[in-house]
Structures are given as C-alpha cells and as structure tokens.
Amino acid sequence: MATADTISQEIESLYSNHHGWLCGWLRKKLEAHCDAVDFAHDTFLRILTSRDLFCIREPRAYLATVAGGLVAHHYRRRAIETAYLDALTSLPEPETPSPEYSAILLETLIEIDQLLDNLPLKARRAFLLAQLEGLTYAEIAQQLGVSVSMIKQYMLRATQQCYFSLSF
C-alpha cells in the first residue's frame, strides 16, 4: 500500500517533469493559448482524483489522453451552448426563458448529450429525430435509410441508455 509520502512524491515528480510539456502541447491544440494552463491544471486534478497514479507507464501519452478528452469535452460543450444561444435569439421576447431557467435547460442539454454520446450515430439521430422533431418511425427510417424495425431497436437502445444512466 502506498504511503502519503510516496503518493506526494509521485505527484510532485509527475507534475514537475511534465507540466511544462503539457502546457506546450495544449497551446498547440487550443485556439486560446491562455487556456492551456487551465486545462493542464484540470488534467492533473483529474489524475489526482483517479486511482491510476501508480499505473502510469507513459506519463506524456497518459497526460495527452486525459487533456485531449478534457479539451474535446470543452469544445463539445461550447458547441451546445452556441447552438442553444442561437436558438434563444430566434425566440420572441416574451418566450425567452429567464437566465436561471436558461442555465438549467443548458445543463440538461449537456447531460442528454453525454447520455447519448455512447450510442451509435444512427441510434442517436433516430432518438433525436423522434424526440425533437416529432417524426414517426417510418419517417425516421426513410431519412436514415434503414428499416422501421431497425428504428425500433435504435429507440429501445437509446431509451435504455437514458434510463439506466439516470437510475444509477
């Protein structure tokens, strides 16, 4: 079992040996270079809260993988926020939700996106077309170029994904 001193030394070594490299790597990946330090911080924080600290064999590859996931999540969230804000601007003034309700809606959209992220593309599209556009299974099948029975399977899978993710 690792002692607190051993863990502290491992963390200090990982940080001091690779923080500068990770910041440089992130600067190349990001539009705003000033965000590199924040993402590096979040990467080390994510590693600290995981139990994988002593399992890291290739620190830079591991750091790049964790940081890359954080960056991808950031851009995906930003795309959802942008689409949501664009949709809000098309609403008439009386129908615009309050800032508080708007924040709740945005967080809900991001959670739904995360729930559906593990689905195959066609299953995700079928679910969204049914839920957001109100299309029938036949219309979705025609649009996706698959059978109605396949749409039923997609919908079952998407529904199960949402249900089981919320249940636990």
Domain segments of the chain as ranges: 4-75, 118-168
DSSP structure string for 91-103:
S-GGGPPPHHHHH
pLDDT for position 6: 76
pTM for the full model?
0.71
Tell me how crowded residue 98 is: count the other CB atoms within 10 A of its CB: 8
- The rounded distance, in Å, linking the Cα atoms of 120 and 116 is 9
CATH pick for 118-168 out of 1.20.120, 3.40.50, 1.10.10, 2.40.160 = 1.10.10
pLDDT for position 143: 95
pLDDT for position 32: 80
User: Which two tokens mark 28?
Assistant: 């190349």
Q: What is the pLDDT of residues 75-118, one digit of tens each?
A: 889 999 998 888 888 888 888 888 899 899 899 888 888 888 88
The yes-or-no verdict on residue 168 having pLDDT over 70 is no
Instruction: Give the list of residues 6+ apart from residue 52 with CB closer than 8 angstroms, or none.
Output: 62
